A and B are shown apart, each in its own frame.
Chain A
């Protein structure tokens, strides 16, 4: 097993009555991209803040890059990069001015500043907008600037809090390519997201819900180990069928995907298709087949009741 960059055990943080993060155990290996997947308010941001030393844990042990938190938070700060969920650079400074500011803050010499700025400007395609005020940039441009600033001092560990929430799909793909480039250079990245397709790109990920880690592992492994069968049914009157299906005790969830109904059935059932057909609620002409689980199925299976509703409302935002 390779070197651990983050090692947390029993990490807990309470805000008066609310427990935002509850006994989180987390092991992140060097040079990997680790994902936090979960809906808003599930404790992703709090967990990241705990791991960067911005918040003190109520209980639990955290070791990041060999530093014990919260006591050595100040030393840790020089070696990590943090891209906040909300754009947190200065709107009234230009792209170059923002980058220069960050470079100076991290104590780069004049020569280093020049080199690093030139390097990052071309790498993150900031040439054309270098003299534009940061406040006037588009979501994708802001995100590239924020990433450039977060990696200014060549951190060993990069925290990205929902980095792509204000970015279109094309820019998102581009962004992930850049993350893999960074990872290839030896950077460990911890990224939080609520997009399934993004989570699937991570080497490993943890599914969080209400401050509790429900599952963790590589995406493929999570899908293989899933405690449910996935069945796709196509036919007529899918809405009514869905209602009837979710009343069955063996059915974990059912949701419509276009002309299909995706049904999750507990793995304790050995022949789920026969079971569903035996219920006599599916019409004879319907197509019914077992399919490969997706990450969304994993998410639905291991989070509590009706998580889809939560996610739906979240995506609507």
Chain B
């Protein structure tokens, strides 16, 4: 009973302090708002209109139609024309363009012999007939851009010759579920919930106890009957509400502004989010007991935040990472939460069906709270 009163006392104090600290209070709202707008507009893995150059040795109507056909795919736009390979290469070095299309003199001869034109399948050994009609030189340092241009390798050419495109029968039928329009924002917004919560929740609590120490309040607190666990819980609770507000801002705006579907139940969402907020807050508390000033706590927050962004599956697929990186990712609460929230929001999974991730977050909370309470000593030794 008394314990609850003390937790309430700490909580009310924390709320008053938060209310007085206008800047922090503003950031609670502004961080998710601004980040959502920035990320959702800016991040796009579906690349369009890459600036490229062309060296046209052929200078025929055909070569110009070829350029138009390529440009019509929308993948690239021809921004520069060069007279020679050498000039083009220099432009590529300077970074003026990302790739160069070199159209040879005998492009028309190559085209008529090309298999896609439909003059029969050339024998594989016949070099004359199996030659490509033109060449791409690509600045492949950015793999995403290189992949986009590589996708042009097998573009159909039949329409170049006014022929009906011959409908090739694909080997596999591929059905795109959950994000059929392939919009990046659908995948990013739920992930952003994890990243923003990681950032704000860890940051707020990691500074919480350090601040009391820096301002000298701790010396007074430890002479009172407050126990360390009461202090920790009292400090965490206000931020659970703040975390909930932030989640509502991100998912709400994501839904109404960027049309991100919320397919799962709100109850499911609340359970998963609650667990993750608690896990992040507890992590912040652990940092708080390690750091001796607010700068250190801030640095440790960044130390957790960066792998949470890069390894959690928010930016790059978890499956593509080497085993060691996957193991590190497994240790981060953000990885488990990103799986959960994408599951709930996009695929309407029940959280009980993702019990591994749920269980992992619960264990993380309990272990973290124990470590924090153990490390926070009520003496000055």
- Residues of A near any B CB (own CB < 8 A): 49, 52-56, 70, 73-74, 77-78, 80, 82, 84, 86-93, 97, 101-102, 104-107, 149
Alpha-carbon distance A259/B220, docked complex (angstroms):
46
Is A107 a contact of B16 with CB atoms below 8 Å? Answer: no
Alpha-carbon distance A53/B223, docked complex (angstroms):
8
Closest to A107 in B: B2
- With A55-B380, A80-B223, A89-B220 as known contacts, state yes or no: A104 contacts B16, CB within 8 Å: no
21 contacts between A and B (CB under 8 A): A54-B222, A74-B225, A77-B225, A78-B225, A82-B220, A84-B219, A84-B220, A86-B219, A87-B216, A88-B216, A88-B218, A92-B20, A92-B21, A93-B16, A93-B17, A101-B9, A104-B5, A104-B8, A104-B9, A106-B224, A107-B6
Is A90 a contact of B217 with CB atoms below 8 Å? Answer: yes
Is B215 a contact of A54 with CB atoms below 8 Å? Answer: no
Residues of A within 8 A of B105 (CB): none
- With A82-B220, A90-B17, A92-B17 as known contacts, state yes or no: A104 contacts B6, CB within 8 Å: yes
Residue from A77, A80, A88 with most neighbouring chain B CB atoms (10 Å):
A88
Residues of A within 8 A of B253 (CB): none
Interface residue B13 (Cβ < 8 Å from any Cβ of A): yes
Interface residue B75 (Cβ < 8 Å from any Cβ of A): no
Is B219 a contact of A107 with CB atoms below 8 Å? Answer: no
Alpha-carbon distance A175/B378, docked complex (angstroms):
30
Residues of A within 8 A of B13 (CB): 90, 93, 97, 101
Is A56 a contact of B381 with CB atoms below 8 Å? Answer: yes
Interface residue B123 (Cβ < 8 Å from any Cβ of A): no
Is B9 a contact of A89 with CB atoms below 8 Å? Answer: no
Alpha-carbon distance A3/B176, docked complex (angstroms):
85
Q: A82 is contacted by which of B5, B9, B16, B223 (Cβ under 8 Å)?
A: B223
Alpha-carbon distance A54/B12, docked complex (angstroms):
26
13 extra A-B contacts, CB within 8 A, seeds A105-B6, A106-B225, A149-B220: A54-B379, A56-B381, A74-B378, A77-B224, A82-B220, A87-B216, A92-B21, A93-B16, A101-B13, A105-B9, A105-B226, A107-B2, A107-B5
Residues of B within 8 A of A90 (CB): 13, 17, 215, 217
Query: Nearest Cβ in chain B — how far from A116, in angstroms?
Result: 14
Query: Nearest Cβ in chain A — how far from B348, in angstroms?
Result: 44
Query: Nearest Cβ in chain B — how far from A84, in angstroms?
Result: 5
Residues of B within 8 A of A93 (CB): 13, 16-17
Closest to B217 in A: A88
Residues of B within 8 A of A77 (CB): 223-225
Closest to A49 in B: B380
Is B220 a contact of A97 with CB atoms below 8 Å? Answer: no
Residues of A within 8 A of B16 (CB): 92-93, 97
Closest 8 A-B residue pairs measured CB to CB? A104-B9, A88-B220, A82-B223, A107-B2, A88-B216, A86-B216, A105-B224, A54-B380
Alpha-carbon distance A80/B8, docked complex (angstroms):
22
Q: A55 is contacted by which of B6, B10, B21, B381 (Cβ under 8 Å)?
A: B381
Interface residues of B in 358-381 (CB under 8 A from A): 378-381
Query: Nearest Cβ in chain A — how far from B96, in angstroms?
Result: 55
Interface residues of B in 338-367 (CB under 8 A from A): none
Query: Nearest Cβ in chain B — how far from A7, in angstroms?
Result: 20
Interface residues of B in 193-230 (CB under 8 A from A): 215-220, 222-226
Interface residues of B in 2-48 (CB under 8 A from A): 2, 5-6, 8-10, 12-13, 16-17, 20-21
Query: Nearest Cβ in chain A — how far from B337, in angstroms?
Result: 32
Alpha-carbon distance A53/B379, docked complex (angstroms):
7
Closest to B18 in A: A92
Residues of A within 8 A of B17 (CB): 90, 92-93
Alpha-carbon distance A115/B197, docked complex (angstroms):
43
- With A93-B16, A97-B16, A101-B9 as known contacts, state yes or no: A56 contacts B216, CB within 8 Å: no
Residues of B within 8 A of A97 (CB): 13, 16
Query: Nearest Cβ in chain B — how far from A191, in angstroms?
Result: 16
Residues of B within 8 A of A149 (CB): 220
Query: Nearest Cβ in chain A — how far from B116, in angstroms?
Result: 73
Residues of A within 8 A of B217 (CB): 88-90
Residues of B within 8 A of A104 (CB): 5-6, 8-9, 12
Closest to A98 in B: B13
Alpha-carbon distance A101/B10, docked complex (angstroms):
7
Is A91 a contact of B215 with CB atoms below 8 Å? Answer: yes
Query: Nearest Cβ in chain B — how far from A2, in angstroms?
Result: 26
Residues of A within 8 A of B226 (CB): 105
Query: Nearest Cβ in chain A — how far from B220, in angstroms?
Result: 4
Alpha-carbon distance A106/B9, docked complex (angstroms):
10
Closest to A76 in B: B223
Alpha-carbon distance A101/B9, docked complex (angstroms):
6
- With A93-B13, A104-B9, A106-B225 as known contacts, state yes or no: A88 contacts B380, CB within 8 Å: no
Residues of B within 8 A of A106 (CB): 224-225
Residues of A within 8 A of B2 (CB): 107
Residues of B within 8 A of A102 (CB): 224
Is A105 a contact of B215 with CB atoms below 8 Å? Answer: no
- With A87-B216, A88-B217, A90-B217 as known contacts, state yes or no: A107 contacts B223, CB within 8 Å: no
Residues of A within 8 A of B223 (CB): 52, 54, 77, 80, 82
Closest to A13 in B: B381
Closest to B2 in A: A107
Alpha-carbon distance A300/B229, docked complex (angstroms):
48
